[in-house]
Amino acid sequence: MSDNSNKEQPREQGVSESNIHTDFTNNMTYGEYLQLDRILSSQNRLSGHHDEMLFIVIHQVSELWMKLIIHELESAIASVRAGNLSAAFKMLSRVSKIQQQIKESWDVLSTLTPSEYMQFREKLGQSSGFQSYQYRMIEFALGYKTPHILTIYKKDPELHDRLQKAMNSPGLYDAAIEALAKAGLDIHADVLNRDITKPYTPHESVEAAWLEVYKNVEQYWDLYELGEKLVDIEDWLQQWRFRHMKTVERIIGFKMGTGGSSGVNYLKKVLDQRFFPELWDLRTKI
């Protein structure tokens, strides 16, 4: 009889999970950590219509993703200004991935038909995604600053102050241009000392600096990678905006928005907004 004692024994089919915690009398649960009682009790349908739940959840999820985008952008700006570009790259890559998620959420909302939406649209009153303060903070962080928009938020002084602070803070492109100057590239003083509360306008010295970076990639590898991270973010933002516009057109056509905007026509117009213009223009000139 052969000795099989040294042969590998078959694994048990039923693995015991005796260490799984089941008694949380004195310990924090998953739901408590995430405060799910507050999150999951915040979907209050004003119409009682079945599809209003879809509308609320999609917009709440988008706001949560935007909260994370702001968190990452603020830290990325600080990292770029501190010269820690490697840390910023990770954060900016994460922002792009989040943008993909938000863009895809419109595919879910587009399952809402015009007939279904009209059953509860009037319950929104004058509330609109146009009023999303987190979306405005993202625009501010990317350098698109419109002071008149702050009027919407005067109702909440604390929120208004937060937006005013964001308006007065350097945006991501300001930090990137500052990094170009620190690397020895010639950025005109008018750009470095500009009023950062106003929308950025293209400047030939910034374009020349980025062209130098893109023509000498090995010498300026970190700045080259920074430039491409910015292009990724603007690309995804425009895809997000386009998908938003087409979803709105699919559901309400060319009706006026609940917040008083022209709806689809307004959303088409914002597609022309540019955040990092020189990084796009150099592609023609390189």
Q: Does 203 carry a binding-site annotation?
A: no
Say how far apart CA 286 and CA 212 lie, in whole Å.
Answer: 9
The 8-class DSSP code of residue 149 comes to G
The verdict on whether residue 71 carries a ligand-binding annotation is: no
Does residue 244 have a known ligand-binding role?
Answer: yes
C-alpha 19, offset from chain centre: 40
**Computed over its alpha carbons, how large is the radius of gyration of the chain?**
25
- Does 49 belong to an annotated binding site? no
Token digits for 230? 């910015």
Evaluate whether 102 touches 233 at the Cβ level (below 8 Å). no
Query: 56 among the known binding-site residues?
Result: yes
In Å, what is the CA distance from 14 to each residue of 7, 11, 275?
21, 9, 57
Known binding residue 121? Answer is: yes
Tokens at 25, concatenated: 């009398």
Count of residues making up the chain: 286
Tokens at 78, concatenated: 């600080």
CA distances from 156 to 129, 152, 153, 162, 210 (A): 17, 9, 6, 10, 41
Binding-site sequence positions for substrate = 55-59, 117, 121, 258
Binding-site sequence positions = 55-59, 117, 121, 244, 258
Binding-site sequence positions for heme = 244
